[in-house]
Amino acid sequence: MKHFLITVLAILGFGFAFNTHAQQETTGKLNVLIDYFDRPANVPFKYAETVRSAVMEGLHASNRVNIIDIDTNDALKVEADRRESGVSAGDNLDRLAMMGQEGADFIIQGVVNDITISETVTTDSKGNKSYSYEPVYAFTLKVIDPKTGKITETQSFKIPNGIFDFSGFTILAYSPDEAVTAYSKIIPKKLNKFINAAFPIQGIVLEMADTKGSEVKTLYISVGDALGAKKGQKYDVREVRTIAGRESRKTIGEIEVVDVEGDDISLCKVKKGGKEIYKSISGENKVIVTSAE
């Protein structure tokens, strides 16, 4: 069995672009500022803040980025009474530029479009009535580059979106406020697709760990604890080639993390494309990995 060692590299960024800001942190993570969330007049300020807090919780759990909460930054904090009255802080370029100056590589802004709360009435054998409540959150998230003001990713959410979204949750809420707070625990678990699209992890294959004939079974990649690698996480494997002066990235397989062994190294099993990956590495091609949904 021959080992093929390639220079270590791991990049976390949008698409596959190299981001110089990401290199300012020893962990290689981007600094992402969570702005206030806008809302229509029928959505209370405290409900919008509940959704924003749940989004921050989901980002924190992903371990993909360094989070900057606007409420902790005196230079950016907006007076609470303005927000409570429904006045937007705005998203003009001057304000975005200030966020960039405060260390934000990217900004997440949100709009809580609506929170609909349904009431269920239950009557017991003695005729006594009890009331319970369930909310549906509708909101939109967008990621902005403060250097250009351009939106780099946007997604809309309706949570829960069907009864299966309640799987694993046993919640009884006896007031609308209690319901909005309690059910917001669902939101962080529904952000994986958004987080992966906005902040994909990219690294390279370091070494083939185990092979069988001309097929690789396990390999090491240059992604570990520092970039949020977790057991069970899947990555697409792509071969990078230059064709007529243009860079080609062809998907040749899929891998899954089985053991995170350090800040910048994880052992993975090959799920698909073992022969293609073996052939590409043996041919001394650059082989990169990109986080999948």
Q: Quick one: three-class SS letters along the chain?
A: CCCCCCCCCEEECCCCCCCHHHHHCCCCCEEEEEEEEECCCCCCHHHHHHHHHHHHHHHHHHCCEEEEEHHHCCCCCCCHHHHHCCCCCCCCHHHHHHHHHCCCCEEEEEEEEEEEEEEEEEECCCCCEEEEEEEEEEEEEEEECCCCCCEEEEEEEEECCCHHHHCCCCCCCCCHHHHHHHHHHHHHHHCHHHHHHHCCEEEEEEEEEEEECCEEEEEEECCCHHHCCCCCCEEEEEEEEEECCEEEEEEEEEEEEEEEEECCEEEEEEEECHHHHHHHHHCCCEEEEEECC
Write down the pLDDT at residue 5. Answer: 38
Structure tokens at 153: 């990713």
pLDDT tens readout for residues 151-200: 999 999 999 876 666 555 667 788 999 999 999 999 999 999 999 999 98
Question: Would you say 206 and 4 are in contact if contact means Cβ atoms under 8 Å apart?
Answer: no
pLDDT tens readout for residues 133-146: 999 999 999 999 98
pLDDT tens readout for residues 68-78: 888 776 666 65
Q: What is the pLDDT along the chain (293 residues), one digit of tens a residue?
A: 444 433 333 434 433 333 323 322 223 688 999 988 999 999 999 999 999 999 999 999 988 899 988 877 666 665 445 555 555 545 456 667 677 767 789 999 999 999 999 998 989 888 888 888 999 999 999 999 988 889 999 999 999 876 666 555 667 788 999 999 999 999 999 999 999 999 988 899 999 999 999 999 999 999 998 888 889 999 999 998 888 888 888 999 999 999 999 999 999 999 999 999 999 999 888 899 988 86
Q: Spell out the domains of the chain, with CATH numbers in brackets.
A: 23-113+141-158+181-198 (3.40.50), 200-291 (2.40.10)
